[in-house]
Amino acid sequence: MSISEIFSVAGKVAFVTGAGSGLGREMAVAMAENGAKVACLDLNADGLAKTATLLATENISIVGDVSDEMAVDKAFAECAEKLGPVDILFSNAGIGDPEPGLLHEYSTDNWQKVVDVNLNGVFNTSRAALRQMMQTGAGKIINTASMWGLAGSSSVFPLPAYNATKGAVVNLTRELGLQYATHNIQVNAICPGFFLTELGPYDEPEFMAATQGFTPMNRVAAASEIKGTALYLASSASDFVTGTSLVIDGGCMAK
Ligand SMILES: NC(=O)c1ccc[n+]([C@@H]2O[C@H](COP(=O)([O-])OP(=O)(O)OC[C@H]3O[C@@H](n4cnc5c(N)ncnc54)[C@H](O)[C@@H]3O)[C@@H](O)[C@H]2O)c1
């Protein structure tokens, strides 16, 4: 195979959660630019509408909540009906701690919210995708974890629920990589460092200074810098890669 064939996702069906903003939007664009059909799921209808304007291939937008098991199952049924069974899942929707802080002052409601989206959302979407992939006999699952799934964040800011859920996604990725290793389904995670999205208040000079200052490359990444990694893990270029986490962080985790 030529290099362009190795990296091709032409004709595949990609399902992207959190596609209405930030990294998810760039993942959807990366898939469409390389010829995949794209199903975009997000809570935010306006964000989805903007993403749809950037996709040149066949695509559908579904407003839904990844923490809602029935909504997720329905969305995957709609994808299968309109675009075909899913070949590539980006389980990417995620939220930060609503009120970052020390654990002894942390509310149960906020803990539950973060677990519901960042961990239960990955469970709901992975399970729905795997049901289709086990039928077709192939698949790629790419979970967006975080560098804070590999290390604690408190030297920059305290995010107990975020760190716990992202660490769980890293280890769920290992387990699913093993479970489906002989089923022609690869499961990997991306662990981003600081990317310019709506997730953090990058318009606040203090936040920007803290995130840049922590990053050895002394800058935060543009959201579009996720596209190459997304295509690598979605395409046959990564066919012998499973259960692993790719760190894209300007050197943070090397410290
Ligand atoms: N930006 C970073 O620096 C960074 C770093 C590490 C990891 N991440 C991870 O990347 C992923 C994408 O985040 P982003 O940076 O693009 O942030 P973002 O806020 O720009 O985008 C997240 C999207 O997810 C959607 N979403 C949130 N909850 C949802 C739910 N319950 N159901 C469906 N959609 C939902 C939001 O509406 C939004 O469109 C997240 O998992 C995040 O934890 C981001």
Contact partners, residue 26, CB within 8 Å, separation at least 6: 223, 224, 226, 227, 230
The average pLDDT across 114-123 equals: 98
Instruction: Give the pocket of ligand 1 (CB within 6 Å).
Output: 17-18, 20-24, 41-44, 47, 65-67, 92-95, 117, 121, 144, 146, 192, 194-195, 197-200
pLDDT in tens, 48-67: 999 999 999 999 999 999 99
pLDDT in tens, 162-207: 999 999 999 999 999 999 999 999 999 999 999 999 999 999 999 9
Q: Ligand 1 mean position to 38 CA, how many Å?
A: 18
Query: Residue 69 has which token pair?
Result: 């098991």
Q: Does the annotation mark 202 as catalytic?
A: no
Set out the domains of the chain in order of their start, with CATH numbers.
Answer: 3-248 (3.40.50.720)
CA 82 – CA 94 distance, rounded (Å): 26
pLDDT for residue 174: 98
pLDDT for residue 22: 98
Contact partners, residue 240, CB within 8 Å, separation at least 6: none
Listed residue (67, 84, 63) closest to 75, CA to CA: 63
* Substitution candidate for ligand 1 out of 15, 194, 195, 199 with most atoms within 8 A of CB: 199
The average pLDDT across 201-230 equals: 97
Which parts of 57-159 fold into alpha helices (H)? 69-82, 108-114, 121-136
E strands, the chain, are 13-17, 37-42, 59-63, 88-91, 139-144, 185-192, 195-196, 221-222, 245-248
pLDDT in tens, 84-101: 999 999 999 999 999 999
Share of the chain above pLDDT 90, in %: 100
Contact partners, residue 34, CB within 8 Å, separation at least 6: 7, 8, 9, 10, 231, 235
Taking the CA of residue 65 as reference, the ligand 1 atom at the shortest distance is 32
Length of the chain as a residue count: 255
pLDDT for residue 9: 98
pLDDT for residue 178: 98
50's enclosing H/E stretch is: helix 45-53
